[in-house]
Amino acid sequence: MSSLPNYEIYAIKYAEHHRMSRDNFLGGDAHDRPMPLDYFVWLIRHDRQAWVLDTGFSPEEAKSRGRDFKRCPAEGLRALGVDPDAVTDVIISHMHYDHCGNNHLFQKAKYHIQEKEMQFATGRCMCHRSMRYPFTLSDILSMVERVHTDRAVFHNDSEDLAPGLSVHHVGGHTAGLQVLRVHTARGWVVLASDASHFYANMENQRPFPIIYNTVEMLEGYKTCYKLASSVDHVIPGHDPLVMAKYPSPRPELEGWIVRLDVPPKSA
């Protein structure tokens, strides 16, 4: 019997984007078909402690990037009884616009980020348009402000945040991408975020085409599987199948919030 806490995990969907499968795999897809992408933030909690993984983007950002915005991530947190103003710890998987926006929220929280990601998002890699286009300058400036006001917590490689909760650097998609490993009643769940956008990326070893380092990305799939209790314990960052596989905590949350610390419905 493990003495580690069993965390609850929720995926909160806040937006979507209709696209073709050729846009989701390096080198395209011979069997091109509609393959939409969902956008999530995640809530991890135990007793009164709540952790938020990623912060999503705003309606304005959605408009400028042509994404279909559904609701503010804060609405999902409130539906689960969490006040964003009271959250003390936010974990940022990486600093792309869809994971690191809504900077008006979480004003009291410390932000946990890999040191490499901050270097990447503020260094010479950003001189290249193809590297910087998934970043939004105001998000980066907000993170710099946190550094200067004691609200940034830097991590290197693998580090425990609390018993049963740890970050792990995988890189690949961005230089400092980290995944989150969470102990639950069903074992170790890994929230992969953009280490694997879809189940198909990691299952078939076919990278998503926004890449910093291809080999790191391929190794990252292995790392996620290694850290998780089974393949069913790795949760991709953008796959609509997550909504279909996992149960909603309450009927009125059907279609936008699911619980990931319980087994998938299809298991």
Nearest to 50 by CA among 182, 175, 152, 178: 182
Rule CB under 5 A: say whether 98 interacts with Zn ion.
yes
Encoded amino acid at 79, one letter? A
| Of 173 and 233, CB closest to Zn ion | 173
| Of 174 and 184, CB closest to Zn ion | 174
| Of 136 and 184, CB closest to Zn ion | 136
What whole-number distance in Å separates Cα of residue 230 and Cα of residue 2? 17
- 228, 168 Cβ separation under 8 angstroms: no
Minimum Å gap between C-beta 98 and Zn ion is: 4
Residues, the chain: 267
The stretch near Zn ion (CB under 5 A) out of 16-24, 89-97, 100-108, 153-161 is 89-97
- The token pair that represents 71 in the structure block: 């609701």
Site string for Zn ion, 99-138 (x = CB under 5 A): ----------------------------------------
| Of 164 and 237, CB closest to Zn ion | 237
Return the residue nearest Zn ion (CB atom): 96
- Tell me which of 96, 183, 206, 233 binds Zn ion, using CB under 5 A: 96
What whole-number distance in Å separates Cα of residue 213 and Cα of residue 58? 28
**Residue 160, strand partner residues:** 166
Site string for Zn ion, 159-198 (x = CB under 5 A): -----------------------------------x----
What whole-number distance in Å separates Cα of residue 15 and Cα of residue 10? 16
| Of 139 and 194, CB closest to Zn ion | 194
Site string for Zn ion, 48-87 (x = CB under 5 A): ----------------------------------------
What whole-number distance in Å separates Cα of residue 162 and Cα of residue 5? 9
Minimum Å gap between C-beta 19 and Zn ion is: 13
- The token pair that represents 145 in the structure block: 């402000």
Would you give the DSSP letter of residue 231? G
# of chain residues touching Zn ion (CB under 5 A): 3
Q: Where are the beta strands (DSSP E) in 18-132?
A: 37-46, 49-53, 68-69, 89-91, 110-114
Residues of this chain that bind Zn ion (CB under 5 A): 96, 98, 194
